[in-house]
Structure 1
Amino acid sequence: MSQIILFNKPYGVLSQFTDSSGRPTLADFIHRKGFYAAGRLDFDSEGLLLLTDDGALQHQISHPRQKLPKTYWVQVEGEIDNAALGELRRGVKLKDGLTAPAKARHLREPAVWPRVPPVRERKAIPTSWLELTISEGRNRQVRRMTAAVGFPTLRLIRTAIGNWQLGGLRPGEQRAEEVFAAPARPASVRGQRRRRWPR
């Protein structure tokens, strides 16, 4: 039986256990031995990161061939419109090629924890939120996709990987689960109930 840790990675924490520059790492939060990150989440992104003590499971979760869907809540600069959402759903042309079609929908501002440091917003320019689900793992893909359709990302929170969901975990919190089978690839995560976090 394998074990997996669901961790809400805070902004400004590396998805690794060591850093020669002294930046915050997983070692500041994860104290159980033998667990390794299954995939990664950028330094300036927040939310769900999975860690496991099973090398085969780590490979299954993180390998691009598995195409596990990953869902993000994305705050963007400007009022996201249907034209931009349609582009995201069809696939966006980036420098490294056309992305696969994504699931994208407008999202009312979620009641999530305040980010530290706060997002820098311009008073004259509104912001909006969308929920985006992708099944690829290109470098900084979500940020590049929203920028390509004219809405730069201000804040990025991953809420789900496959069937694993962030739930009510606050930044820096974790929970452990036992895994009996390989991770499933759900046909859709669009109907998942959104959770609210205490501010």
Structure 2
Amino acid sequence: MSTLYLLHKPYRMLSQFTDRAGVDGERRATLADVIDVPGIYPAGRLDHDSEGLLLLCDDGELIHRISHPRHKQPKTYRVQVEGEPDDAALQALRQGVALGDGMTKPAKVRRLEASGLPERDPPLDPRRHPVTTWLEITISEGRNRQVRRMTAHVGHPTLRLVRVAIGPWRLDGLAPGEWRRETLHAPTPSRRGRPGQGPAPRRKPATRGGRR
């Protein structure tokens, strides 16, 4: 039996518990600002400027099963892009595009009428980005900044990226900075297990100096 923590990582937060580098001497927000469970580590990561679902656990084998590309956990993102992609651009994403590190595998892509997400803090400036489109993109790879590179390749740079699902686990019900716990029973979800229903979302109280 293992315990998995589902966290909604906010925008401009590191996917780690400490900030060794800093920017201009200013401490950046870390996971320690929103979750205080000892001995857990992220299964994978999200970039500093990306948001959404991050899984954490104290079970090294489970972390490996979730994060290693060999296990091919599909990852779903809601992506706000510049402009209005036409059908040809979406079809190119579905078929795979040629990036600097090779062709991407086919992705599932669809337009969204609305994101269904809370507004980002800070929000996008509509004067700089008057026309945008929300897409839902599911990939089975984990290349560096892959979704952003894919949308830029077809002429529509990503402005906001939120991961909403990893395999069977979903972001549903979690506001930015909130988390919930799920208890997993063998076999693990990479075979035929399914995630359980955890308690209500939790948010760590704000700490002095933490960015939310």
Q: Is the structural similarity TM-score above 0.5? A: yes
Preserved contact between residue 76 and residue 128 of structure 1 (Cα < 8 Å): yes
1:104 corresponds, among 95, 104, 109, to: 109
Say if 2:88 is the partner of 1:83. Answer: yes
- Cross-structure match for 1:196: none
- Cross-structure match for 1:195: none
One-letter amino acid of the counterpart of residue 44, structure 2: G
Say if 2:97 is the partner of 1:92. Answer: yes
Counterparts of 1:65-76 in structure 2, within 5 Å, are 65-76=70-81
Preserved contact between residue 8 and residue 46 of structure 1 (Cα < 8 Å): yes
SS class of match (1:89)? helix
Say if 2:170 is the partner of 1:174. Answer: no
Q: Give the drift of 1:110.
A: 2.0
- Cross-structure match for 1:17: 17
Say if 2:124 is the partner of 1:119. Answer: yes
Alpha-carbon distance change, 86 to 95 in structure 1, aligned in 2, over 3 angstroms? same
Using the alignment, how far apart are the partners of 1:137 and 1:154 within structure 2?
19
5+ unaligned residues in a row in structure 1: which ranges? 187-199
Q: Deviations over 1:55-92 (max 9, x none)?
A: 10001101111110000000000012211110011001
The structure whose Rg is larger is 2
Using the alignment, how far apart are the partners of 1:178 and 1:126 within structure 2?
42
One-letter amino acid of the counterpart of residue 29, structure 1: V
Q: Give the drift of 1:184.
A: 3.5
SS class of match (1:34)? coil
RMSD in angstroms over aligned alpha carbons? 1.5
State TM-score, norm by structure 2.
0.84
Q: Deviations over 1:87-138 (max 9, x none)?
A: 0110011011100000001111223211111113446741111100001000
- Cross-structure match for 1:183: 189
Preserved contact between residue 13 and residue 30 of structure 2 (Cα < 8 Å): yes
Counterparts of 1:37-48 in structure 2, within 5 Å, are 37-48=42-53
Preserved contact between residue 69 and residue 185 of structure 1 (Cα < 8 Å): no
Preserved contact between residue 71 and residue 190 of structure 2 (Cα < 8 Å): no
- Cross-structure match for 1:189: none
Q: Give the drift of 1:183.
A: 2.3
State TM-score, norm by structure 1.
0.90
SS class of match (1:131)? strand
* Number of residues of Structure 1 aligned to a counterpart in Structure 2: 186
Using the alignment, how far apart are the partners of 1:54 and 1:136 within structure 2?
23
Alpha-carbon distance change, 123 to 29 in structure 1, aligned in 2, over 3 angstroms? closer
Alpha-carbon distance change, 149 to 71 in structure 1, aligned in 2, over 3 angstroms? same
